[in-house]
Structure 1
Amino acid sequence: MPPWSSELAGRIERGTIVSDRLRGNPLGDPHERPVEVYLPPGYDNGDRRYPVVHIIQGFTGHIGMWHNRTAFRTPFPELADAMFARGDAPPAILVYVDAWTSLGGSQYLDSPGTGAYSSYLCDEVVAWVDARYRTIPDRDHRAIAGKSSGGYGAMVTAMLRPDVFGALATHAGDALFDVAYQPNFAQIARTLRDSYDGSYASFLSDVRSRPFGTRAGDAELIEMYAYAAAYSAEPDGTVLMPFDEVGRIVPSVWRRWLDRDPVRMAEREPYTEALRSMRAIWIDAGRRDEWYLDLGAQAFREAVAAAGVPEERVHFELFDAGHAAIEYRYAPAVGWLLERIAD
């Protein structure tokens, strides 16, 4: 497989969204955000309107990473373009959304710890695209898809804002928090104790003073803190951790995390009603997922069924892989969604 990029049959346009929702966010991150919009082959040859899939990224993801190339692999934008060029899916507009934060991610939620990223996505990105391109501007013809934290974002966004999105695809999305997150609390507490006197403030001060990743535990510590900033920040922006200095659960904080677990959300209204309104739900994960997100996917599938979503609207699959390098799964999921939302 050639290591360089190939010419697209469609094309990608790049723009900038000036976000009022992200202006003045608590992390001081940019409120002007890049966006990439893929237009399928034939877009310029008529006045046809197209369904839209908004594509969101995992933790630490930023928009430029969609075009990263690794040996013997093809980036997703090229895989999607090839799918449309072959006629294997109804033509569509794909929107590559940037929701990066200086903590590594936002979980696509509105939070006083990170900013209003759900509102940014649902109220600003969607409106920006609909105003500039020939979309079918209706939730029944609009889907959201992502992997890992992006898969989490796809699940919760569809449940929080069914007025905006009518279909979703989640690949190894964060779910079943007591299985995926809680086992890591003890190790995080130990690393904080041994390296930072038990203080997240000390870690944050240190990690911002040097190249990221040059001390053991950087990735694990920043990821857990970013989750807390999304799930359990106080109105004044104070970030509360769900465990204490020896790794024990802090029940009042942990409940706030569990309230944002897609599996538990799917078990209560109004989220069950939102799921029943979805035209299509794709759920998959690798059987060897290092964070046991295959079990999260399985639990979410069970919750979706219990919510009353008809079986024919759901695709569930566990495949032979871990958590990383599953970009080849995205295009088939997008194509499957489009078969159900194009008309």
Structure 2
Amino acid sequence: MLPWSADFAGRMDHDVIDSAALRGNPLGDPHERPIWVYLPPGYDEDDTRRYPSIYVIQGYTGHLGMWANRTPFRQPYPELADAVFASGEAPPAIVVYVDAWTSVGGSQYLDSPGTGRYHTYLCEDVVAWVDARYRTVPDRDARAITGKSSGGYGAMVTAMLRPDVFGALATHAGDALFETCYQPGFPSSARELRDRYEGSYDRFLADFRGRIAGTRDSDLTLMETYAYASAYSADADGTVRIPFDANGALVPEVWERWLAVDPVLMARRPEYAEALRSMRAIWIDAGTRDEWYLDLGATAFREAVAAAGVPDDRVYFELFEAGHMAIEYRYPPALAWLSHRLAGLSG
């Protein structure tokens, strides 16, 4: 495998979107965001044809430039995706790479007074921008969303919250079953805060922002929990509520706010079960050795999807031998699977 970039059979446009939803966000993060739009082979040869669109969102700490990262003997996902269309393995589709980075590392693709209106940004600003500039089929049944980890979480909840915008989803090791993936880490975080920061998140944040990030082994864990709390349990004034106390025990009223946006529990509510039943396709997978037990979350979400009444022939579910990291090779099969299920709406 050559270590340099490959030539695309399709075309990747790099642009910037000016988001009304992100203007004045509480973190002061940019409201102008990079956006990449992949156009499949043949797009420029027939200016009458329209295409389904698949929106790709990233995990925690993800930003758009990371899609260009290369590791030895492997290709980055945009090249793998191009190969899927170039080979004819998948019917052509427009693929949109969305940036939703924040200065706390992520947004969970929700509207929150702690981070900003990232759900609105995605569903209103980004989708409208793409539909206005490219020959999409501007219909929810021709639009899918896919992601891994926090991106997989975003795919699940976005499809449930806005079934009028997205009609299909794929989640790779998406955050789900919060008691299993999040709660076990709270005692160790409480201990780190006690031993290094006198139990104060404010002290941690001041220290973190005053030095090179990642130079303490607890940095990412503490910041990740804070980012999730910023998305799940921020008050209207922007105050971020942490879901555990000084001893690592749950704070029930805060934890309930987290559980309210757990995809597994959301899927059991009538309005979200109805949204899931409206999906044309749902792909769910995870590695059997996932370090955050997101294979258990994937299984629980699959069970919730079945309980919601989604027919089995609309669902793909698989647990594969891997951990949480370096599973980009799982994305192209899901992309092809979604493309086939959206293909009847191209024209």
TM-score for both structures, normalised by structure 1: 1.00
Structure 2 counterpart of 1:74: 75
Amino acid in structure 2 at the alignment position of 1:149: S
Provide the rounded CA distance (Å) in 1 between the counterparts of 2:16 and 2:82: 22
CA displacement at 1:341 relative to structure 2: 1.3
Provide the rounded CA distance (Å) in 1 between the counterparts of 2:302 and 2:324: 18
In the alignment, structure 1 residue 329 sits paired with structure 2 residue 340: no
Provide the rounded CA distance (Å) in 1 between the counterparts of 2:87 and 2:342: 19
Structure 1 counterpart of 2:295: 294
SS of structure 2 residue aligned to 1:241:
coil
In the alignment, structure 1 residue 9 sits paired with structure 2 residue 17: no
Provide the rounded CA distance (Å) in 1 between the counterparts of 2:119 and 2:156: 12
Structure 1 counterpart of 2:37: 37
CA displacement at 1:11 relative to structure 2: 0.8
CA displacement at 1:55 relative to structure 2: 0.1
Structure 2 counterpart of 1:23: 23
SS of structure 2 residue aligned to 1:99:
coil
Provide the rounded CA distance (Å) in 1 between the counterparts of 2:246 and 2:305: 36
CA displacement at 1:342 relative to structure 2: 1.6
CA displacement at 1:216 relative to structure 2: 2.4
In the alignment, structure 1 residue 203 sits paired with structure 2 residue 204: yes
Provide the rounded CA distance (Å) in 1 between the counterparts of 2:17 and 2:198: 41
CA displacement, residues 74-100 of structure 1 (integer Å, 9 cap, x when unaligned):
111000101101100010000000000
Amino acid in structure 1 at the alignment position of 2:114: G
Question: How many pairs align?
Answer: 343
Provide the rounded CA distance (Å) in 1 between the counterparts of 2:224 and 2:113: 17
Provide the rounded CA distance (Å) in 2 between the counterparts of 1:240 and 1:114: 13
Structure 2 counterpart of 1:137: 138
**Which blocks of at least 5 consecutive residues in structure 2 are unaligned?**
none
In the alignment, structure 1 residue 272 sits paired with structure 2 residue 302: no
Amino acid in structure 2 at the alignment position of 1:111: S
SS of structure 2 residue aligned to 1:5:
coil
Provide the rounded CA distance (Å) in 2 between the counterparts of 1:325 and 1:230: 25
Provide the rounded CA distance (Å) in 1 between the counterparts of 2:20 and 2:81: 31
CA displacement at 1:257 relative to structure 2: 0.3
In the alignment, structure 1 residue 263 sits paired with structure 2 residue 267: no
In the alignment, structure 1 residue 187 sits paired with structure 2 residue 182: no
Provide the rounded CA distance (Å) in 2 between the counterparts of 1:151 and 1:83: 21
TM-score for both structures, normalised by structure 2: 0.98
Identity fraction in percent: 72
Please list every run of at least 4 consecutive aligned residues from structure 1 whose deviation after the TM superposition is greater than 2 angstroms.
none
CA displacement at 1:338 relative to structure 2: 1.1
Amino acid in structure 2 at the alignment position of 1:92: A
Structure 1 counterpart of 2:240: 239
**Root-mean-square deviation (Å):** 0.4
Amino acid in structure 2 at the alignment position of 1:24: G
SS of structure 1 residue aligned to 2:283:
strand
